[in-house]
């Protein structure tokens, strides 16, 4: 990429004495730790059903943006459910703007289960502890630290950078990114790409193999309700129209169904590039290509890719009947379906087939799948920024099995990447800490994140 051959004064840096070449100052490294800890102390638990209050965290972020000379806007669809958006003008007015987003809410945590109080933000053993340390007040703090560092050093990015701190990501996003995308598109004018949750963390595939999966896709979500109607009657009589039997048969077919492998460009690249690190040359176009067999050879690293090579549908709830000798007229089930980018039509057609003529089904919740190009200049710059600060990094693309705020911003035509950089030690189980007990983040990981984010955003 052109970045590696650039002169020492990057084009994205302006101001007297070309500041910015040295990376973030010590104050930024101190602030990212303080901000992570203080944001954790502001309890923004999202219980679902509208039960959450992000306002104090939003005001905290807005004050720090104002301190950096920016003019943040606070926006609410519902009182207390506050979002914050600010724009930093770039040096190249012809360049597309870049959105950087992080959510302010967190999932619930029960103090009894934790080694430290989940809302203490305690710094212990070189880690910041608490709910949100990974998901994702760490990234919120990194964004704040970087833009404040820029203000102190007179740095401006090349592209306009729009920063957004959102409410309600851990529930429906209707008070957060969904509201911003639908009702305030003007704040995101010119944004073509975004970086946000997940991705760019160290995934130790082996003792000498540090992967950094960068998010370049998300599966779509289809939560379904199945309804079987039949003939109600006495449990002692012959009944060929039993709703429970009909529903059970459909649920069993769905649960047992082996979805065919559907490699999207991101997953294909993930598979090819990861296999190459193991010295395995693959050809996904070969008619005999067996993705599952390759994944088995990739061991631990295969776990990053395995959930996203095909659609999935898991029955999760069954409801029918009220008395053993009464055949109910109706039986219902719920299914958690996920489809790969481009896989929604096949998902729908397959559900029609699997449910059969006696069972109806409908989407109760449906969210699009996303795919971002892995051959874009922006992807290359993310990879370059990671390798600059971890020369042993192997950057690979990654498709998320679930979803983030990126789905909402996609309504505005914004291509979303998962890029929340963290350098993590061997044995640190990042993915288990998402919504997990004793969520924590190493101080060194936050420092790495600030350096990478600063470098990437200045050169993006
Ligand atoms: Zn999150």
Same domain, yes or no, for 194 and 233? no
Q: Could you tell me if 305 and 227 lie in one domain?
A: yes
Instruction: Tell which of 367, 395, 424 closes a domain.
Output: 367
pLDDT of residue 15: 36
For residues 308, 314, 316, 319, the Cα torsion angle rounded to the nearest 10 degrees is 150
CA 155 to chain CA mean position, Å: 28
CA of 138 to the centre of ligand 1 (A): 11
pLDDT of residue 364: 94
Contact present, 195 and 382 (Cβ < 8 Å):
yes
Residues, CB within 5 angstroms of ligand 1 (ion): 135-136, 197
What pLDDT does residue 2 have?
Answer: 37
pLDDT digits (tens, 9 = 90+) for 308-342: 999 999 999 999 999 999 999 999 999 999 999 99
226 alpha carbon to ligand 1 midpoint, in Å?
Answer: 29
pLDDT of residue 235: 95
Q: How confident is the model at residue 14 (pLDDT cuts 50, 70, 90)?
A: very low
Query: In this structure, is residue 376 part of a structural domain?
Result: no
Please indicate, yes or no, if residue 32 is contained in any of the structural domains: yes
Examine the pLDDT at 199 and tell me if it is beyond 50.
yes
Residue 381 within a domain: no
386 CA distance to ligand 1 centroid (A)?
A: 21
**Interval between CA 438 and ligand 1 midpoint (Å):** 16
Same domain? For 284 and 234 the reply is yes
Asked if residue 183 and residue 42 are part of one domain, the reply reads yes
Q: Are residues 139 and 202 in contact, defined by beta-carbon separation less than 8 angstroms? A: no
Same domain, 168 and 305: no
Least confident of 17-26, 73-82, 119-128: 17-26
CATH classification at residue 79: 3.40.630.10
User: Which residue in 140, 149, 160, 169 is the catalytic one?
Assistant: 169
264 and 305 inside one domain = yes
User: In the chain, how many domains are there?
Assistant: 2
The pLDDT of residue 21: 58
**CA of 133 relative to ligand 1 center, distance in Å:** 10
Ligand 1 centroid to residue 378 C-alpha, Å: 22
- Judge whether residue 6 has pLDDT over 60: no
- 396-425 mean pLDDT: 96
Is 345 one of the annotated active-site residues of the chain? Answer: no
Domain assignment present for residue 147? The answer is yes
Question: pLDDT at position 429, please?
Answer: 87
Task: Give, for 82, the enclosing helix (H) or strand (E).
Answer: strand 82-88
Cα 305 to middle of ligand 1, angstroms:
20
Q: For residue 384, is it within any domain?
A: no
Largest CA distance in the chain: 90
Query: What was the pLDDT predicted at 431?
Result: 83
241 lies in the same domain as 280: yes
Is a pLDDT exceeding 80 seen at residue 397? yes
Residue 455's pLDDT is what?
A: 97
Predicted confidence (pLDDT) per residue in 372-387, tens digit: 999 999 999 999 999 9
Q: What is the rounded average pLDDT for all residues in the chain?
A: 94
Query: Average pLDDT for residues 141-165, to the nearest whole number?
Result: 97
- Examine the residue annotation and report whether 96 is marked as an active-site residue of this protein: no
Residues 228 and 345 grouped into a single domain: yes
Residue 19 and residue 13: Cα distance in Å, rounded?
7
Ligand 1 center–CA 234 separation, angstroms: 50
**Which member of 31, 54, 105, 371 is catalytic?**
105
**One domain for residues 168 and 38:** yes
Q: Say whether both 274 and 314 belong to one domain.
A: yes
311 and 445 share one domain: no
Q: What is the separation, in whole angstroms, between the first and last Cα of the chain?
A: 12
Q: Is 85 within the bounds of a domain?
A: yes
Whole-number Å distance between alpha carbons of 2 and 22:
20
Of 315, 342, 367, the domain-final residue: 367
Q: pLDDT exceeding 90 applies to what percent of the chain? A: 91
Q: Which domain holds residue 246?
A: 220-367
Per-residue pLDDT, 432: 84
- 192 and 234 in a single domain? The answer is no
> Does residue 326 lie within any of the structural domains?
yes
In a domain, 314, yes or no: yes
Residue 5 has pLDDT above 80, yes or no: no
Residue where one domain finishes, among candidates 367, 389, 419? 367
- 46-94 tens-digit pLDDT: 999 999 999 999 999 999 999 999 999 999 999 999 999 999 999 999 9
* CATH number for the domain harbouring residue 248: 3.30.70.360
């Amino acid at each position: 990429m052109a970045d590696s051959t650039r002169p020492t004064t990057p084009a994205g840096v302006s101001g007297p004495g070309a500041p910015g070449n040295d990376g973030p100052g010590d104050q930024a490294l101190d602030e990212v730790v303080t901000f992570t800890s203080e944001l954790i102390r502001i309890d923004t638990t999202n219980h679902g059903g509208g039960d959450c209050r992000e306002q104090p965290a939003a005001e905290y972020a807005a004050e720090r943006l104002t301190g950096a000379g920016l003019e943040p806007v606070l926006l609410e669809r519902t009182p207390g459910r506050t979002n914050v958006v600010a724009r930093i003008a770039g040096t190249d007015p012809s360049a597309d703007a870049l959105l950087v987003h992080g959510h302010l809410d967190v999932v619930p945590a029960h103090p009894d289960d934790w080694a430290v109080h989940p809302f203490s933000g305690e710094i212990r053993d070189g880690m910041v502890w608490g709910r949100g340390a990974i998901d994702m007040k760490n990234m919120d703090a990194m964004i704040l630290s970087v833009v404040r560092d820029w203000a102190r050093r007179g740095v401006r990015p090349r592209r306009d950078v729009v920063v957004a701190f959102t409410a309600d990501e851990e529930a429906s996003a209707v008070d957060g990114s969904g509201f911003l995308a639908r009702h305030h598109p003007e704040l995101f004018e010119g944004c073509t790409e975004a970086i946000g949750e997940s991705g760019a963390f160290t995934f130790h595939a082996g003792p000498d193999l540090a992967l950094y999966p960068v998010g370049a896709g998300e599966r779509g979500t289809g939560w379904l309700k199945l309804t079987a109607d039949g003939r109600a009657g006495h449990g002692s009589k012959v009944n060929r129209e039993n709703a429970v039997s009909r529903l059970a048969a459909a649920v069993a077919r769905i649960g047992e169904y082996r979805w065919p492998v559907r490699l999207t460009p991101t997953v294909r690249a993930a598979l090819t590039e990861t296999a190459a690190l193991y010295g395995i040359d693959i050809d996904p176009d070969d008619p005999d290509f067996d993705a599952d067999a390759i994944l088995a050879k990739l061991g631990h690293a295969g776990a990053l890719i395995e959930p996203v090579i095909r659609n999935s549908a898991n029955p999760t709830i069954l409801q029918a009947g009220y008395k053993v000798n009464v055949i109910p007229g109706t039986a219902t089930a719920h299914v958690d379906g996920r489809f790969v980018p481009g896989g929604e039509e096949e998902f729908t057609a397959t559900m029609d087939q699997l449910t059969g003529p006696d069972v109806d089904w409908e989407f109760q919740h449906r969210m699009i799948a996303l795919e971002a190009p892995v051959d874009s200049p922006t992807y290359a710059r993310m990879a370059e920024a990671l390798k600059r600060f971890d020369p042993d990094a192997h950057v690979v693309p990654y498709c998320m099995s679930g979803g983030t705020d990126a789905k909402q911003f996609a309504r505005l035509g914004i291509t979303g990447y998962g890029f929340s950089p963290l350098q993590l030690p061997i044995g640190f189980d990042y993915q288990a800490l998402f919504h997990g007990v004793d969520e924590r983040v190493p101080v060194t990981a936050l420092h790495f994140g600030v350096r990478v984010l600063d470098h990437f955003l200045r050169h993006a």
